[in-house]
Amino acid sequence: MKKILNAEYGGIHATYWMAYAVVTSFASAFLIDRGYSNSEIGLILAAGSVVAVFLQPFMADIADRSKKVSLIGITQIVTVIIALLMFMCFIMRKASIALSIVFVMMVAWHTALQPLFNSLAFKLEESGHKINFGVTRAMGSLAYSILCAFLGTLAEKFGTQILPITGETVLVMLLLTLWLTKGHFKKACRLKAEGLPEKRKEEPLEEIAETEALVQTEDINLIQFIKRNKLFLIVNVGVAGIFFSNAIFNNFMFQMVENVGGNGEDMGRILSLMAFLEIPPMFLFGKIHSKISCKSILKFGAICFTLKILCAYLAQNVTMMYVAQFFQLGSFGIFLPAMVSFIDEIMDKGEAVKGQALYTIVTTVASIFASLVGGFILDVSGAKIMLLISTLITAAGAFLFICVIGKVKSKKI
């Protein structure tokens, strides 16, 4: 049962990130074909992220409070909503206010799914089986990589209408995976209940998990958290600068590749390579961390983020854009698990959740800012200037990050 739940949770990540390829990574290609300017595309992507910021706590509250609908049930409902919005994108062929609103909401709902799926890992562990988050997340990168390798070629050959068709197919696969996971989770919970002591069998498994969590967690409000972690707050300012370039790559790769003489097919292959290179460091992070501290790994990652965007700025052809992606091995691929582990290492139970939340919020804000600024600069000055400004912002963020992170002390007793 453990292998089944891990495989199905990996399938959920795989289909989620394939949908991300359609909704976000190929958004520029789709919207440009519909007649949108770069500034308008940036505004749409930024608006989607802003709406998602409000949707996420709303969805989390429903997931925590609802007794009629399970967490998996909520994700199924959201997936159906995204599928309906995707269908509307398929039938709308020209730029309009209606299409803009539909696309904003599609980006927002899809973004809102990610924390629900992260929470689902802990929910599935209530069945008594450990979920290997690193490996299942890597499955998401692998699936994204495989899809992008073909999607660019398909879009060039059949037009951007292939994107919503692909999206609908992926979402159906996601619904099917969620349905299978729900059934196996219930079966695993029944098997676990049969092995519980008699006194605990009368308690619902959800209540047992909540009781254990309350015992381990110290309550701390946001103001107290900021006062106790001022240096960590500054570290996250650096993270915002570092992730500015990451958002630029994700949102405007199409324009960057066109600037050096490439097309949609090249963009798909570059995105595929970028995602594929995330996988090895994610798989090997445990071994790397056993020999090197998180602080050292994160400093190295910050430098690699800067070198990646610098290499893209200096690129004169598509080949150099491919070369730039190899810095992904030392940037996003290892920075993400290292940052999550670093927060867990330095903070006690009462702070850790807020620390992870702050990190997520900061990367979201960086994405919003990059979408707005990147789209505007593309229309005014072109891709080269956008990459230059992105390099400067990333370098400044990396410098601040490296200077401060070494001074952050552990709050654990």
pLDDT of residue 161: 93
Tokens linked to 323: 């070369």
pLDDT of residue 12: 87
Domains in the chain (CATH in brackets) are 1-216 (1.20.1250.20), 218-413 (1.20.1250.20)
pLDDT of residue 333: 85
pLDDT of residue 379: 93
pLDDT of residue 362: 87
List the chain residues with pLDDT less than 50: 198-203, 205-217
Tokens linked to 10: 């990996």
pLDDT of residue 215: 39
pLDDT of residue 173: 95
For 292-311, b/e burial (b = at least 16 CB within 10 A) is: eebbebbbbbbbbbbbbbbb
DSSP secondary structure string for all residues of 240-280: HHHHHHHHHHHHHHHHHHHHTT--HHHHHHHHHHHHHTTHH
The pTM of the full predicted model, rounded to 2 decimals, is: 0.78
pLDDT of residue 6: 77
pLDDT of residue 222: 61
Contacts of 309 (CB under 8 A, 6+ apart): 245, 248, 249, 324, 387, 390, 391, 394
- Determine the length of the chain: 413
